[in-house]
Every structure is written in structure tokens, then in C-alpha cells.
A and B are shown apart, each in its own frame.
Chain A
Amino acid sequence: MVRTSRASTPSDDLVIAVDGLRKSFGDLEVLKGIDLQVRRGEVVCVIGPSGSGKSTVLRCLNLLEQPTSGTVHLLGTDVTHPDCDIDRVRRRVGMVFQQFNLFPHLSVLRNCTIAQQKVLGRSGDEAEQVARRNLERVGLSDKVDAFPQQLSGGQQQRVAIARALSMDPDLMLFDEPTSALDPELVGDVLSVMRDLAEDGMTMLVVTHEMAFAREVADRVVFMDAGLLVEEGPPEQVIGAPREQRTRSFLQRVLDPTHAEPGGA
């Protein structure tokens, strides 16, 4: 059951509800008031130029960064409330990082079982079963005994996805999951994510992969300079953007050689 906080009771359907989120690092204001909602089963892609605050939004959701002001409801819990037990929320929210962040001292299988056992209290047998199932899901059944440094970047990222899935999360956050990969390895990771979306997983994806966003996302959010500039279905935001800033960004990304100078 979803624990609801006393501050407000958003509908059960709302997995993420961000309200007036601001974040400053010293004097630098990175997020200048973000409102964002994600419903159960939705796949939302966040696009925008680097430095626009996309990743910071994601990291503020599960409090890897402490928001300066505003509220964040995650799975019905107000995580910005001082009494919130963030560890209880995080175990239900999978996160995938740009740099994979696999545990290098543990085997692939152990990477996927350690949190199940230490956090969820599952038995070794059960954890291993769940881990093997998820490693099969990302196509790495044959790598269970390998260590992270023996794998390619794409394989490592898929292990990271399996590790997050093994916690049976209600929501998955992806922070530029393919940005650190060699181009030929991007496809494997994206196809795993596509399968995940088709299985009905709620996903919030910060990405530069426009083709993926256009094809998989239910909704695309464009951010620039700490603000949410435009959001809507992909065919609108990517296909026919209303805002000038969105248009110039997309032009630079989709057709870098013919970008109009001074578009930024």
C-alpha cells in the first residue's frame, strides 16, 4: 500500500508529483521552479541541452540532491517532508546512472542480489531466482558469474537495469543511460528499455536519444535553463514544437551540421 503523507494526498495514480521544485548549488540556481507529474504506467522522456537541469530534477526526486524548495511526492509519499524515511521510498524506485555504477567488487549476480537481501530481507535463494530472471530479461543470463570490469559498457548498463529491476520497483528513473556508451552499444540498452516500457513500467528517462523518445515516450518534456519549457506528446514536442527554444535545440541535435548559428 502506498503510504500517504499528511501534507497532501495526490491521487493513487500519480507516481511522481513535483511542485515548484527549486535547487541551487551555492549562488547558482539550477532549477527555477519545476512542476511535473507522471502517472502510473507512463513513459516520460526529459530532453534539453546539457546544463539545463534535467539530471538534477531526477536526482532531486529520490533525494540524491536535496531540493532547495518545493515539494516532491514519490509514490504518494512527500519525500521533501522532514519526517520522510527516504530509504523506504528509494527501495521502490529503481535508478540507472550514466556511469552504470555497478559494484566492481561483486559478481554480476551478487550486484543484483545484495540489496534484495540486505534491504528487502529476501532469502538468498529467492534473491538469486529474481536476479537470474531479470538478467535473462536484459539478455545476460550467460554473464551471471562475470565481474563488471569484464563486461562492455552496454552489458554493464544492462546489468545495472537488471539490478534495479530486481528490487521490483514501481518506478524507474534513467539518468542519461546511453550517454557514456560507444555508439554501437547504445541499441542493446535502448531495446531493453523499450521492452520495459511495453511491459507497462512507469519510467522517467533523461536522454539525448530523440528517436527513442519519439518512439517510446507517452510524453516528452523539454527543459532549458532550469525551466520546463514545453511538454506534450512526442509527435508534438519533437515533431512540431511550439516554442522557439525547443525548435532551435532540436535543430542542433537532429541536424548538427545545418544548425543556425547563435541558436542557443
Chain B
Amino acid sequence: MSTEVAGRTRMSPRRRGRLVRAAQYVVLAVVVLVVALVADWSQIRRAFFDPEVMAAQFPRVLTIALANTVVYTLLGFAFGLVLGLVLALMRLSRVAPYRWIATIYIEFFRGLPALLVFIAIGTGVPLAFPGTFLNRYVIVMLALGLVGAAYIAETLRAGIQAVPRGQVEAARSLGMSSMRATVSIVIPQAFRIVLPPLTNEFIMLTKDSSLAYLLGSTLDQQELAQFGRQALTEYRSLTPVLVAGSCYLIITIPLGILARRLEARTKKAR
């Protein structure tokens, strides 16, 4: 077999790898060149980087849109964290029905597009329970939290299971009840272990908070995605979308770096 392959290529793997890489660079350069020549740059600049339109977005993009994105995300994350912790403990419970309920919940919400959940909560709940007035912030918190909880629960479960068995044995030997050992000894350690993946869940929720645009809103309640979309139709320029997108990156990129740093630190600590 191996002689057959060697016979066909007649090239050392290293030389072959170098050739493939060189070919990739050439293709990339050609593509960039063609795009640069074909594109109508003044048109593109007007569509994406119109300085006047850009200036017009401030300060509202920060004071209203970015602020609302942060508030929605924090609300959703807080709710998701509480629900996720309950679900994680249920999945690890000795009581079988608890485990079933948690598993069904997690599989259900992880399997659905977040979009559908937002539609269901935003329009379905007011329809199903007429007369109940749900604040828009509460609706977003519910929808984001319900979706986030499914992912957070699995992350926390892994963290709880990663705490060495000896920790529980030591706590129980000191006379702590199972509940007390879980609360005082296991969960604090589990949270440290899952801090990096939890940061990633937060980034995911930040982006998913854009789905709040489905729910319709007053100007004061707009978050980044809706703000950008409305300004897009207003100015007939993509510039506001670009501004809104940059605002997401202002949140997500530093958090991504933080997550990687935390991960490196926990790896070193072991």
C-alpha cells in the first residue's frame, strides 16, 4: 500500500506540503487582486463607511443600543445561570425523574433554534396567557435564559463532575450533609473550573440577544441589531450596521481573550 502511494506521488511529504501551501498563497493573492480591480471603491465606501452617517449614530448607538444589549444579556445570563445550576444538579441527582426532566429540557432547548424560542416566548406567551402583562425586558430575559440554561447546565454538570471525589469525602467526613457539601465545597470549585466555557456561553448570549429585534420595541428599548437595522433603512447605507457590529465586537473580543487567558491559567494550576 505505502509503496504504491509513494510511487504515485514521488515526492517527500515535506516538499509536497510546501508546494500545497505556495499554491494556496498564489490563489489568495489572485482573488484579492481581482476583487480590488473589479470593485467600485467609491460606491463601497458610501455604502459601508459613510462618515456622516457614522457620526449620526453617536451617541445613541452607545447610550441606548449598546446599553440595552448589555442589559438584555446580563438579565438572560443571570436567569440562565440560576436555571442552569438547578438543571445541572437535577441531572446529577440520585432521583431518576429529576434526571429525566433535566435531560429532556436540555435536549429540547439545545435542539431548537433560539429564533423559534424568541417567537414562542415573545408572541406565544402573551397569546396563551392574555391579560398577563410581561415587561419586554422580562420577555427577553426569559427567552435568552431558557435557551442559555440548556447550554450552561451541561457546562456546569461537567464542572461539578470534574471536582475530585475526595473533596466530597472530606466534607462528608467533617459531618457536612450532602447538600451542605455541594453548596460549600463542590459548587465553588466547579465554578472555577467552568469559568472559561462559561465566558463563552456569555459571548453566545450576547449575540443571541440580537433576536430581541423580533419582539418589536420602542426606540428606548432597541438593542444593537435592531438599531442598526432601522438606521439602515433610514439612511440607505450599511454604515450603521457596521457600527452596531463593531459594538458587538467591543464586548465579545475582549471576553474571548479573557476566556483563553482563564483557560491557560486553570491548565497551569493543575
Contacts and interface: CB of A to CB of B under 8 A. Distances in A.
Given A87-B175, A90-B175, A101 B169 contact: yes
Contacts of A164: 173-174
A245 interface: no
Given A91-B174, A149-B269, A118 B180 contact: yes
Interface stretch (B62-70, B183-191, B207-215, B222-230): B183-191
Interface residues of A, number: 27
B192 A167 contact: no
B172 interface: yes
B127 interface: no
Contacts of B185: 103
Given A105-B189, A114-B184, A90 B269 contact: no
Contacts of B170: 95, 97, 101-103, 160
Contacts of A105: 188-189, 192
Interface in B162-176: 164, 166-167, 169-176
User: How many B residues touch the partner, as a band?
Assistant: 10 to 19
A220 to B, nearest CB: 24
A27 B174 CA distance: 31
Contact of A115 (B176, B192, B269): B176
Nearest to A163: B174
B161 interface: no
A90 B173 contact: yes
A62 B173 contact: yes
B176 A104 contact: no
B173 A64 contact: yes
A18 to B, nearest CB: 18
B177 interface: yes
Interface string A79-91: 0000000011011
Contact of B174 (A88, A90, A104, A149): A90
A48 B172 CA distance: 27
B166 A97 contact: yes
A99 interface: yes
Contacts of A64: 169, 172-173
B169 A119 contact: no
Contacts of B188: 105
A93 interface: yes
Contact of B177 (A87, A102, A103, A167): A87
A156 to B, nearest CB: 12
B177 to A, nearest CB: 5
Nearest to B174: A115
A47 B110 CA distance: 53
Nearest to A160: B170
B173 A118 contact: no
B252 to A, nearest CB: 29
Interface in A90-143: 90-95, 97, 99, 101-105, 114-115, 118-120
Contacts of A115: 171, 174-176
Nearest to A117: B184
A167 B64 CA distance: 55
B166 A119 contact: no
A177 B167 CA distance: 16
A119 B269 contact: no
Among A62, A115, A149: residue with most chain B CB under 10 A: A115
Nearest to A167: B174
Contacts of A93: 173
B184 A101 contact: no
Interface string A222-237: 0000000000000000
8 residue pairs, one from A and one from B, having the closest CB atoms: A91-B175, A115-B174, A101-B170, A95-B173, A101-B166, A119-B175, A90-B175, A105-B188
